[in-house]
Amino acid sequence: MFFNAMKRKDWSNVNEADMKYVVPIHNAVNEMAWKKILEWEKRHANECGVPKLIKFQGRAQDMTPKARLRSLFGYQKPFDRHDWTIDRCGKDVTYVIDFYEGKRDSKNPNMPSFYLDVRPAVTDLGSIYDRVSRFFGF
């Protein structure tokens, strides 16, 4: 299924034999993203114990404003972007995820490494408050 999805999206260098390596990495990265969303959601544990994923959308061609600004200062551009929408017990909340290549482990340089910048999308005052309060540590 993953291979067919990549072909539909017109990835040119897709090899079906590589899927046995690509799919587990893809799944592990998605698990990392979900864990980071749950870290953000701890702030709302009193109002909703267990949020649920409603949908996610790959938006690799759409750079977030934060990623665009960072790239202007010479930082690497993300290789992918997703928007994930969760149900926080009746409230839809969207998270933006920028996917970056991480630092390589010198002891295992062939192992892929990823850095995920996960944060609530700026859609309302609540998401702005979450970002500011986390930045300042309160």
pLDDT in tens, 77-122: 999 999 999 999 999 999 999 999 988 888 888 888 899 999 999 9
pLDDT in tens, 56-80: 998 988 999 999 999 999 999 999 9
| Among candidate residues 80, 67, 68, 116, the one with its CA nearest the CA of residue 6 | 80
Tell me the average pLDDT across 22-47.
Answer: 92
Instruction: Specify the pLDDT at position 12.
Output: 65
Burial call 64-84: b when 16+ CB within 10 Å, e when fewer: beebeebeeeeeeebeebbbb
Instruction: Specify the pLDDT at position 46.
Output: 92
Distance CA(95)–CA(82), nearest Å, equals 8
SS3 21: helix
Please report where in the chains the tokens 């759409």 appear, as a residue: 62
Residue 75 one-letter amino acid: Y
Q: How confident is the model at residue 36 (pLDDT cuts 50, 70, 90)?
A: very high
Instruction: Specify the pLDDT at position 104.
Output: 85
The domain locations on the chain are 2-136
Report how far apart the first and last C-alpha atoms of the chain are (Å, whole number).
43
Alpha helices in the chain (DSSP H): 2-8, 19-41, 65-72, 125-136
Tell me the average pLDDT across 27-37.
Answer: 94
Instruction: Specify the pLDDT at position 51.
Output: 96
Distance CA(133)–CA(138), nearest Å, equals 5
Residue 59: phi and psi, rounded to 5, are -135, 55
Tell me the whole-structure pTM to 2 decimals.
0.84
